[in-house]
Each structure stands twice: as structure tokens, then as C-alpha cells.
Chains A and B, each alone.
Chain A
Amino acid sequence: VVLVLHGYIYPLRDPRSLVLRPDETPYRFQVRLGGAAIYLAKKNIQKQGALVDYEKECYDRLHKKISHVWDLVLMQAREQLRAAKQRRKGDRLVIACQEQTYWLVNRPPPGAPSVLEQGPERGSCTASHVHMTKTADFYKREIEYCRRALGRTRVKSSVCLEAYLSFCDQHGPHDPLVSGCLPSNPWISDDDAYWVMNAPTVAAPTKLRVERWGFSFRELLEDPMGRAHFMDFLGKEFSGENLSFWEACEELRYGAQAQVPTLVDAVYQQFLAPGAARWVNIDSRTMERTLDGLRQPHRYVLDDAQLHIYMLMKKDSYPRFLKSDMYRGLLAEAGVLLEMKRRMFPFTRRPRRSSPSPALLPTPVEPTAASGPAGGDGVA
């Protein structure tokens, strides 16, 4: 243990005590065989054969066990030692300590019984418990898979990487672990103000939050507040039934199996039936297909119609929303709030406020399947 502590005192920020628990020492030599062998081989080379008694014993045992790949082990060991010489001293020390500690903690203690504390046995590809009978069905699926794979258009990876660049760029300022967050990260400052300011339903949303609604239609809908404002906007354009229909479809898709017939019927009556109170405008082909499918209702029966309406909102209403006075007003308002400085008394330790568990709050009246829970954030 002293050896280990010694090795760990220097370059780490948080010196810590390593406690060896001999009764729980795992005895797993599957992939580790190679690693352990390499470690000992390196030591053997470095110390020119002067391994500690116990280590020598293990070395010999391993040699016997994996003698068929021993050349590889020696090669790897020499390679690692060579590469290590080129590393900076600091890195070398870290790596050496890492290896040493792993070895010290995970080697089988001399004489101790093997304790299998690794959990359930993981089957490999040859495991018999995975039933892979090559039935006609199996091959049908294979053919379908290959056909689809052939027909798929693949995008050049350079284009995909550009997409990551712009996504990371756009979302970077919103990523607390990359750019920090204002007024402070609750975990660091012990102040939950950030959560209070960003509660699902808060009077004044932050600028960053309102900005995010402009990143994609999905992000707007995912934020209950964004969705609510969008609903308001649609109301003004007399197309609120589109969003309501979409929400009802979500409820069906993610709802209880027993509710399926009832929900399908309710949606039909409210949105699809001729003369329905909140009739949605779907193209005739989709409507025909949907009405057909309604004869045998299942949870995905409204998928086509839902997608049609989603695309309609995304391509038409959403861009107009972003250009609207309503949205621009929200952005401007939120910008003003950002300017207001918060006075922080740096030496006052805020008590970590508890917040009511979502499980304590009454369930919301209108169940919207895709939205978050009702609150759960501390109120000042």
C-alpha cells in the first residue's frame, strides 16, 4: 500500500488514499492476461531479471499459460519501453503509476482463492443461449436489410463532419461544461439560481433559452415554454389545431396499450372526421391512407398524418414564427434581463436548497406525453 501511495502523491491534483480490499480482488485473466504479462515482461527487461519472488512466480505461470503468444508479449513489452523513452517524464510517471497500481490491485494475491466478482458471464458470439436459427424468416430479414443498405444514399463524411462543426459551434455557448453558465453552475457555486431562472415555466425566459428555440423546430417543441409560445402564435394564425393534433398523436404513440382504441377514436372525432371541430388539413392521399388504417387501429396508425402535419409546421409556420414580432419581442426582452447584474456576496455560503421531488407534485391536468415533468425546481 505504501508503494502505491508513494506513486500517487506527486502529479495528481487530489491526493487520495487507495485502499486495497483483498477479499474483493477480482481474478479475471481474460483480456488482462496480455496486459499483466506485458507489464511483468517490461519489468523483467528493465530490472534485468530481478523480479520480486512473487512476481517471478506469476511471470512463469503466465509464460506457461500464454506461451503461444509469448513472442508477441515480449515484442509489445520492448515496444512500449521504447515508446516510453520518448515520452515526457511526467507522462511516463503517470503511465508507470497507472500500470503499477492496476497490477497491485488486480493481481491475484498469493494463496488467495479466486473470487469471481465480475458479474454474470458474458456470452461471446459462440454462446449457445442466443438462438440464431437460420430459418427462412432470418434470411428474409437479411435480404431486406441488404436491399435497404444498397438503396440508401450515403452522405460524404466530410459533409457530415461539417455538420458536427456547425452543431458544436451553434450549441457551444449553451454548453455549461464548455462555456460555463450564468449566473453560475449550481454544482460549483452551490447556488441553484441557474435552475430557478431556467425552470420549465418561468415568467421571463433567458436569452440563451429563447435563442435555442431558433436552432431547430425540434428544440422549440422540446421546451414546454417554447411550445406554449408557438401555440399562441399558431392561434393567431388560426392553425393551432395542427400542433394540438401533433400532440395528440404523440400521446397515442407513447401511451398505454389499453388506451389505443380510445385515443385513436378521440383523435378521429376531433381532427379527422368530416366536419370535425378542429379539422386538420392533410393531403387527400395521406387522409385516405389514414382513414383506411383506422379500421384496425394501432399506436402507429396516425404516423403518416402526424409526419405530414409536422412537416407543414416545420416548413411553414416555424420560419414565420421566428420572423414574428412575438418571437423578436421575446428575444429583446430576454436580452434586457441579461444586462441586469446580479449582486453576489462572494463570502456568503448559500445553503443548498432542497427542491420538491417531481413525485410529490400533483400530476398536470393536461397530459402531454412529450413534455417534461411539472417543475421540481426550488422556488426562491
Chain B
Amino acid sequence: MGLPPSAEPRSVLCQPKAQNLVFSEGTDYGLVLPVHQVAERVEALGQFVMKTRRTLKGHGNKVLCMDWCKDKRRIVSSSQDGKVIVWDSFTTNKEHAVTMPCTWVMACAYAPSGCAIACGGLDNKCSVYPLTFDKNENMAAKKKSVAMHTNYLSACSFTNSDMQILTASGDGTCALWDVESGQLLQSFHGHGADVLCLDLAPSETGNTFVSGGCDKKAMVWDMRSGQCVQAFETHESDINSVRYYPSGDAFASGSDDATCRLYDLRADREVAIYSKESIIFGASSVDFSLSGRLLFAGYNDYTINVWDVLKGSRVSILFGHENRVSTLRVSPDGTAFCSGSWDHTLRVWA
């Protein structure tokens, strides 16, 4: 594709006119990961004690995805057997349950208003269900089919409102949809294989998102034009999860190559790898704590590793799940994070 690999010296200043390119090298070289330059100056974190505070039992099969409601306590989760459940995870009560007509519901999302959820999987679609407390109403009756892909749905997310959904699919594309009409607003082509994950950028202008795929690439897209604006290819296997750093200037990724990496958008390169010799199983999902100091990553070896983002070291390893961790999200106010697993349960940790 003509992109220089990120291992080469990357501080480059170019004149916009292609005629006279002036290069000046910076002092950072790819061989020594720059994050260690700042690591010494940072105070070490204190004793780290995190435990499971809630265990949500109710799914009859592998939990594949979950998302938080903006109210900081409700969550929606989806599983292999087609069940989608909305919980008040603080009280552990189930509030809604719907059975999808397909199995492997790999994506689910809570609407910003808290009044609807979206989900999809092997049906190649993304459907929106308004949440209703009316006992006489069948939730499935009000279901709205929004997105249509030509392969499985791997991820979905509402944008800033209930009226738009962004999806990622095994057909190699991402797409932006109008919920009310089901109209395709924009499609994003560029991945060479299945797209597995996406995350919207927390930016002032709110125009970009990042996606990760089986082609080992993480791509940043302009939502307006459908163009890929930046791409990163340093992982050695499928990228299962991508999540923006809270400032929006960087994002983390978790991959089947057993590493998590941090990519900076302004430096246009990878700036950190979070890995250990003893970690040999893929990272399935990642998320940052509120300040971005901690990176929580769920792995296929049933554990959750907590990384110090700045120092590049592991702060803690959390045991509890009895099968691989498939999904992980920090709550909207950062008081806890929730993990879902193939062991049929979800756990809230704090």
C-alpha cells in the first residue's frame, strides 16, 4: 500500500507540495518504544485491589457482547443462544429479555437515551428494539431492522443520538445507518478481511471512528466522506477490539497475537505494546479507565490483565471467569467495568 512500516524513524515534517520534500528526523526511533521515555517520571500506582462485585447469571450460553447504559448501572448483554438481556446490574435484576431469531448475537449496544437497544449477529443485520415496560407488549413486535450486511454483524454502536447506528461486519465493511428509515448513509470500504470491532472518537468535532479487523489493520475513518484517514498495521493477528484513549488522541487495540497496543493519531504510529512472555492467548476486548491511566484487557485464557498505560507494565491480573473473556467495558462514570464470558456470566469489577 506504500505505507512505511512504523518501525522506521517517524518524526517527519513534510512540505505539502510534493515537489520539494524536506525531511527532518526526530529523536525517537521505533526500536525503543517511546513510552519508556516517560515511564520513569511517572509515579507508580498504589496497591491494586479489584474484585468481582456483581455476578450476573441468566444467560444460558456464551456471553458475546455487552454495553452500558448512560445511567451508569444498566447494561445490555447478548449471547450465543440468541438471548439479549437488559439488566440493572446494581441490583442484578433482569429488566428485559428478547430472543433473537438467530444465534451468535455478537453485537449489542445501548441507545444514548436509554430507551432502546440494538443487536445483531449471524442474521447479518442490526435490529433496534425500543425498550418497553408494558406487560402486554411483546418487545419483539416493535423490532426495527436497520442494517443489512452480507455477512455476520460483529459490532454496532449508536452515534450521539438514537437515530444513527454504526456497524461493522464480517463482509469487510463498516456502515452508518439511519435508524428510522434503515437507509444507508455511508459505507466504509478498505479492510481486506472481516471487520471485528469499532469505536467512535470522543472528539470535539465528532467525525471519526476506528475499526479493527482480521487483516491485522486498525483503520481510522472520516464519517462524513467514507474515507480512511489513517491506518496502522503492526499486529500479527486479528484485531478483536479497539478503544479510544479518553482524550481522543490515541486508541488501544487487543489482538489474537496476545498483545495490546497503543497507537497515537498525531504521531501516526504505534507507541506502546502491552505484552508478557507468559501471556500467550489472544486479547478479546480492551477498555480504558476514566483517566486513561489503566487499560483493562480480557483474554482467551479466562483472565483479565490490568495494564499501566504509561509505564507499559502489568498492574494486576484478575481471575474469576471460568471460560474465555469475550467482552469488556468500563462504566460511563468509570466506577467499575463489566466483563462477559463464555462461562455464561457477566461480572462487574471495582
Contact = CB atoms under 8 A, between A and B. Distances in A.
B266 interface: yes
A171 B291 contact: yes
Interface string A271-313: 0000000000000000000000000000110010001001000
B192 interface: yes
Interface string A93-116: 011001000100000000000000
B8 interface: no
B85 interface: no
Interface residues of chain B: helix, strand, loop or mixed (majority): loop
Interface in A147-167: 147-165, 167
B10 A122 contact: no
Given A300-B224, A352-B90, A83 B268 contact: no
Given A164-B250, A256-B178, A373-B114, A178 B163 contact: no
Contacts of B161: 254-255, 369-370
Contacts of A258: 178, 180-181
Given A154-B267, A164-B250, A257-B181, A130 B172 contact: yes
B181 A376 contact: no
Interface in B296-350: 301, 303, 309-310, 319-320, 322, 330, 333-337, 348, 350
A172 B291 contact: yes
A120 B195 CA distance: 13
A39 B213 CA distance: 29
A88 interface: no
A178 B350 contact: no
Interface residues of A, number: 101
Interface residues of B, number: 128
Interface stretch (A47-55, A59-67, A138-146, A236-244): A138-146
A175 B289 contact: yes
Given A154-B266, A257-B181, A355-B88, A161 B37 contact: yes
B31 interface: no
Contact of A256 (B21, B163, B266, B310): B163
A372 B41 CA distance: 37
A33 to B, nearest CB: 12
Interface in B69-113: 69-74, 80, 88, 90-91, 93, 95, 104, 106, 112-113
The residue in A145, A174, A250 that gathers the most chain B C-beta atoms within 10 A of its C-beta is A145
A10 interface: no
Contacts of B237: 31
Interface string A252-264: 0111111000000
A18 interface: yes
B142 to A, nearest CB: 12
Interface string B157-198: 001110110000011100000111101010000111110100
B238 interface: yes
B183 to A, nearest CB: 5
Contact of A186 (B115, B246, B335): B335
Interface in A32-52: 35
Nearest to A376: B71
Contacts of A98: 278, 301, 303
Contact of B214 (A124, A153, A253, A372): A124
B288 to A, nearest CB: 10
Interface stretch (A187-195, A226-234, A325-333, A336-344): A187-195
Interface of A: 12-14, 16, 18-19, 31, 35, 80, 83, 91, 94-95, 98, 102, 117, 119-120, 122-125, 127, 129-132, 141-142, 144-165, 167-168, 170-172, 174-178, 181, 185-188, 192, 194-195, 198, 217-218, 250, 253-258, 299-300, 303, 307, 310, 314, 352-355, 357-360, 363, 369-370, 372-373, 375-377
Nearest to B131: A359
A370 B179 CA distance: 17
A370 B152 CA distance: 30
Contacts of B230: 149
A129 B151 contact: yes
Contacts of B231: 145
B223 to A, nearest CB: 9
Contacts of A122: 170, 193-194, 196, 214, 238
Given A154-B267, A257-B178, 10 more contacts: A14-B320, A102-B281, A123-B194, A125-B215, A156-B28, A157-B28, A161-B35, A310-B204, A354-B90, A359-B133
A357 B90 contact: no
A14 B28 contact: no
A154 B6 CA distance: 13
B193 A376 contact: no
B118 interface: no
A154 B320 contact: no
B69 A358 contact: yes
Among B35, B163, B180, B245, the one with the most A-chain Cβ atoms within 10 Å of its Cβ is: B163
Nearest to B3: A149
A161 B38 contact: yes
A359 B162 CA distance: 12
A138 to B, nearest CB: 9
A123 B348 contact: no
